Every structure is written in C-alpha cells, then in structure tokens.
C-alpha cells in the first residue's frame, strides 16, 4: 500500500486521504459517434495545496524511488 503521496508540483506530501481523486471518464465525440476508450485510465490525484492534478506513478517506480532516498 502507498503510505504517502507527494505532489510533483509543489512538493506537498501527505496521507492518501488528504488528496482528492478523480476518475477520468473518457468519452470521445467524433461526429455523432461516441467512442469509449477501452484501456484502463489511471486515477488523477488532486493536490489539496496547489489543486493541481497528477497521476500516481506505478508502484514499481515508487519502490525504486524509496530505495534511492
């Protein structure tokens, strides 16, 4: 489990519960047809401090980052 999330924009770091989350619902309108994107979209995380949205890194890069720190 991810214990801390860090905002890449302002550097705010906090518990996952401090952040807002947005599940991007993707609808592409092309003429009169609607295309649903089939692949899974990542969750957009909204920073409570700067209100910017970013995507969580995949768990493996997070582990690597932890080891480097």
Summarize as ranges the residues that interact with Zn ion (CB under 5 A): 7, 9-10, 12, 47, 49-50
What is the smallest separation between the CB atom of 12 and Zn ion, expressed in angstroms? Answer: 4
CA distance 16 to 1: 10
Contact 19, 48 (CB under 8 A): yes
Closer to Zn ion by CB, 6 or 62: give it: 6
What is the smallest separation between the CB atom of 52 and Zn ion, expressed in angstroms? Answer: 5
Closer to Zn ion by CB, 22 or 26: give it: 22
CA distance 13 to 37: 32
Contact 45, 13 (CB under 8 A): no
Closer to Zn ion by CB, 26 or 43: give it: 43
């Amino acid at each position: 489990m991810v214990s801390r999330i860090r905002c890449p924009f302002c550097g705010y770091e906090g518990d996952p519960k401090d952040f807002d989350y947005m599940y991007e619902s993707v609808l592409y309108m092309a003429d009169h047809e609607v295309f649903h994107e089939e692949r899974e979209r990542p969750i957009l995380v909204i920073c409570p401090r700067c209100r910017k949205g970013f995507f969580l890194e995949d768990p493996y890069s997070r582990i690597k980052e932890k080891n480097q720190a």
